[in-house]
Amino acid sequence: MRTSRAAAVAAVTMSLALAATACGGGSSTDGGGSNDSPKTLTYWASNQGASIEVDKKVLQPELDKFEKQTGIEVKLEVVPWSDLLNRILTATTSGQGPDVLNIGNTWSASLQATGALLPWDEKNFTAIGGKDRFVDSALGSTGAEGQDPAAVPLYSMAYALYYNKKMFADAGISKPPATWEELVADGKKLSKDGKWALGVEGSNPSENIHHAVVFAKQHGADFFTADGKPDFTSDEAVEGVKQFVDLMAKDKIIAPGNAEYAQNQSVSDFAKGKTAMLLWQSASANLKSQGMSEDAYGIAPVPVQSGAPGADTGVNSMVMGINMAVFKNTDNIDGAKQFVKFMTSDAEQKILNTAYSTIPPVSGAQSDASFNTPANAVLKDTLAKSAVAAPQVADESQFETAVGTAVKELWADAAAGRPVTTDSVKAALEKAQQQMPTK
Amino acid sequence: MTTTVPAKAEVRENSPGTADGPRRRPGRIRRIGLPYLLLLPALLLELLVHLVPMVIGIAMSFKELTQFYIRDWTTAPWNGLDNYRMSVDFNAPVGEALLHSFLVTVAFTLLSVGLCWLIGTAAAIYMQDTFRGRGLLRALFLVPYALPVYTAVITWVFMFQHDNGLVNHVLHDQLGITDKPSFWLIGDNSFIALLTVSVWKGWPFAFLIVMAGLQNIPKELYEAAALDGAGMWQQLRRITLPSLRPVNQVLVLVLFLWTFNDFNTPYVLFGKTAPEAADLISVHIYQASFVTWNFGTGSAMSVLLLLFLLLVTGGYLWLTSRGRRTADA
């Protein structure tokens, strides 16, 4: 009997232990964060380089430097884009997340609404050297207006037109197109013998949305009203989206196969000389890793409807970029802020943004001579003068999915040779709008 | 083992004494309690792994669980049946999309299960006769079932690609069946692509189960039938299929449940946003919760799906076993 009782006790103990470990391990959820484990940090980095491995190689030496300075060990995980938002949502729901993380800057307002991220108020900004160290355009994509930012800018990017110099010369084109009309005219010269003028990522909702916002804006439309209500079906928005999809449907300067691209195949096509032009953000490092030399391509501003890029209908890119955020329930709040300060310091900004061919959102680093190359000049200029921030509304990420998917379906229509009309575009956007949360 | 032996011995020893009186009670409780005590860990884990998440999921379906509340979802307001009302309001966009997705899934499941069963059964019957290389063929047939889903489906993704895919290369470049390369992963053809992968992945299971079932049919039945002049077709109809009935009953049910709920195949094939023609319900629900961040509606849809599957399973078992009882009688 004694043995059996011992066995029973052991069994119960084990089950309780299992139960405890399965649902235990919770950290403080009081919201303010704590300093319970001041010697370690977990950091989720977004995938900025050509691969996760490249990112690790870029970031690890910097993290080692940080450990040497502060004694805080940073555990790095580079999360692919396809998983990042889901991982953040899961972390938010469970309270089991990293201490510091990168977010796509367009998600700022959506994630801000969950209340999981540390708000960057006066006091927190002072801890990392002050808000005025950052450039304004980048700060415009850190959360809803009138609220403390949910994140601080880390890397800035803008769209530009990358063009293959040799293919342009062969077709007798002397300068990159400045308007869409010119782009289509040039495109018709370039699209022949199995080569195509332009590449797009038709099945990637995020890429679609970045262009759709700019095209709509060039026609004078916003996807959200001033008070944050979705407004996807205005005539101008429909016209803008149609013009984008017409590059394949009507103008036939994009290969139909692009409609199913979602793994950056359009970048590979450009690097291999299959397409002559590419609309991309900070593609230099990526193109280099695919073996395209820097002299082989030129960088020009993304075309506009007419005139020169500027404000309002002259915009030609979204303010793209990566923000850095701190999870509110971190157990190393001081260390997390120290780490953000380190990563946004002038010296680190120079190293990191050079490695990723991005623009530093920190004015001190941006003015550095190494960011004055012609390529960077285009990006800097775009960011300063003609970039539009993503809608800073709580439903932004749903908008990206809904409209991005609508445009994806339109590409599918165009690729299959089905007509893309004002009505069909409007119907697609209407459907997207109906999917948006009503509350 | 050491624990059960003394316990048993004690049972035997004490059994006459149990009737004697209250003096023995504590020992009896201990004895009766022991099996339950030993079951307790399993019970607790079962609760933890199965029931608790299910109950939480059902509770979530009555809440307005959007991005504003996910951080601490206990604070999300209850909204009664709103999520359900929204999901089944087929005149509004959300319900309409759910209904569309449901119908696509039903069509897909019927076709996939039917084809899996047909191919699997046919192959199993042909493999009954001994011939050279039978073992090799049997092993080969099981490969799709043994491959990890992700690896297998991602290979299909490459094959279905518009520009460089093998499928277009064969159908268009070599055989010239289509006048231009088709899209398989976007647009209407995606349904065919999904069905192909699903059948390719599912039929070896049907093959395996039917093959096992065939081993239990006595050879004498066929010999007797042959003597009576029954041909191959009659033998199949009058002996093989009726004998396989119990096996088929389970097989079809399992295939149905797996196919109806399949998430991996469409997800790997199409990513987060499936084309409309191949918008299976599992991915649709995933999208309703994760992509639009409305976990309440997602849960409500899941509960509806659960109810539907329970209903179908119950109805199916009732029908098939009733049929068997009358046949037996």
CA nearest neighbour of A302 among A173, A183, A205: A183
Per-residue pLDDT averaged across B210-222, rounded? 91
The answer to whether A396 and A190 have CB atoms below 8 angstroms apart is no
Instruction: Give CA–CA dist A286/B231, Å, rounded.
Output: 68
Helix, strand, or coil (residue A429): helix
pLDDT confidence tier of residue B32, bands split at 50, 70 and 90: confident
Per-residue pLDDT averaged across B300-327, rounded? 85
**Hey, what are A335's tokens?**
């260390």
pLDDT score of B324? 60
For residue B272, list chain A residues with Cβ-Cβ distance below 8 A: 82, 205, 401
| Disruptive mutation site among A2, A4, A274 for chain B (greatest number of B CBs within 10 Å) | A4
Average pLDDT over chain A reads: 89
Using the Cβ of A7 and the Cβ atoms of chain B, whether some distance falls under 8 Å is answered with yes
> What are the tens digits of pLDDT across the range B152-175?
999 999 999 998 899 999 998 889
Complex-level ipTM: 0.79
Q: Are strands A100-104 and A320-326 parallel, antiparallel or unpaired?
A: antiparallel
For residue A202, list chain B residues with Cβ-Cβ distance below 8 A: 186
Q: Are strands A275-281 and A317-318 parallel, antiparallel or unpaired?
A: unpaired
Using the Cβ of A397 and the Cβ atoms of chain B, whether some distance falls under 8 Å is answered with yes
pLDDT score of B8? 43
> What are the tens digits of pLDDT across the range A380-438?
999 989 999 999 898 888 898 899 999 999 999 999 989 999 999 999 999 899 888 77
A40-157+320-383 shares its CATH topology with A159-318+391-434 = yes
Per-residue pLDDT averaged across B65-70, rounded? 84
Using the Cβ of B82 and the Cβ atoms of chain A, whether some distance falls under 8 Å is answered with no
pLDDT score of A223? 95
Instruction: Specify the CATH architecture of the domain B82-328.
Output: Orthogonal Bundle (1.10)
> What are the tens digits of pLDDT across the range B98-110?
999 999 999 999 9
Is the pLDDT at B192 greater than 90, yes or no?
yes
Type and span of the H or E element at A44: strand A40-46
pLDDT score of A145? 86
Using the Cβ of B29 and the Cβ atoms of chain A, whether some distance falls under 8 Å is answered with no
> Where on the phi/psi map is residue A173: left (φ > 0), alpha (ψ -120 to 50), or beta?
beta
C-alpha distances (whole Å) from A97 to each of A27, A111, A331, B238, B285 are: 10, 14, 11, 62, 24
Q: Which residue of A has its CA nearest to B34?
A: A8
Helix, strand, or coil (residue A230): strand
pLDDT score of B10? 44
* Residue ranges of A 295-334 with Cβ closer than 8 A to chain B: none
C-alpha distances (whole Å) from A216 to each of A236, A242, A243, A414, B277 are: 6, 9, 9, 19, 28
| Disruptive mutation site among B13, B50, B60, B71 for chain A (greatest number of A CBs within 10 Å) | B71
Average pLDDT over chain B reads: 86
Instruction: Give CA–CA dist A127/A139, Å, rounded.
Output: 17
CB contact under 8 A, B186 and A115: no
Is the pLDDT at B77 greater than 80, yes or no?
yes
pLDDT score of A283? 87
The ranges of chain B annotated as CATH 1.10.3720.10 are: 82-328
The residues, any chain, with a CB within 8 Å of residue A225's CB and separated by 6 or more, are: A231
Q: Which residue of A has its CA nearest to B36?
A: A8
Instruction: Give CA–CA dist A234/A232, Å, rounded.
Output: 6
> What are the tens digits of pLDDT across the range A1-43?
444 555 544 444 444 444 433 333 333 344 467 888 888 999 9
Using the Cβ of A408 and the Cβ atoms of chain B, whether some distance falls under 8 Å is answered with yes
pLDDT score of B327? 53
B293–chain A nearest CA distance, Å: 7
Q: How many CB atoms lie within 10 A of CB A75?
A: 12
Instruction: Specify the CATH architecture of the domain A40-157+320-383.
Output: 3-Layer(aba) Sandwich (3.40)
> What are the tens digits of pLDDT across the range A184-213?
999 999 998 889 999 999 999 889 999 999
Instruction: Give CA–CA dist A143/A315, Å, rounded.
Output: 21
pLDDT score of A29? 41
The answer to whether B113 and B255 have CB atoms below 8 angstroms apart is yes
The answer to whether A435 and B94 have CB atoms below 8 angstroms apart is yes
A114–chain B nearest CA distance, Å: 5
pLDDT score of B303? 94
pTM of the model: 0.83
**Hey, what are A99's tokens?**
């201490």
> What are the tens digits of pLDDT across the range B115-157?
999 999 999 999 888 888 888 999 999 999 889 999 999 999 9
Q: Which residue of A has its CA nearest to B294?
A: A437
Q: How many CB atoms lie within 10 A of CB A370?
A: 11
> What are the tens digits of pLDDT across the range A342-364?
999 999 999 999 998 899 999 99
For chain A, the domains span 40-157+320-383, 159-318+391-434
The answer to whether B124 and B118 have CB atoms below 8 angstroms apart is no
Cα-to-chain-centroid distance, residue A32: 28
pLDDT score of B272? 81
Between A282 and A23, where is the model more confident? Answer: A282
The answer to whether A173 and A422 have CB atoms below 8 angstroms apart is no
pLDDT score of A399? 92
C-alpha distances (whole Å) from A20 to each of A17, B45, B77 are: 5, 11, 28
Using the Cβ of A283 and the Cβ atoms of chain B, whether some distance falls under 8 Å is answered with no
The answer to whether B179 and B171 have CB atoms below 8 angstroms apart is no
For residue A86, list chain B residues with Cβ-Cβ distance below 8 A: 290
For residue B4, list chain A residues with Cβ-Cβ distance below 8 A: 4
Is the pLDDT at B202 greater than 50, yes or no?
yes
Between B289 and A143, where is the model more confident? Answer: A143
**Hey, what are B319's tokens?**
């029908």
C-alpha distances (whole Å) from A328 to each of A18, A25, A124, A155, B148 are: 28, 17, 12, 22, 39
CATH superfamily of A159-318+391-434: Periplasmic binding protein-like II (3.40.190.10)
Q: What angle do CA A165, A167, A168 make, to 5 degrees?
A: 65
The answer to whether A308 and A314 have CB atoms below 8 angstroms apart is yes
Per-residue pLDDT averaged across A135-152, rounded? 92
Q: What are phi and psi of A281, to 5 degrees?
A: -105, 125
* Residue ranges of A 189-228 with Cβ closer than 8 A to chain B: 202-203, 205
**Hey, what are A57's tokens?**
């190689």
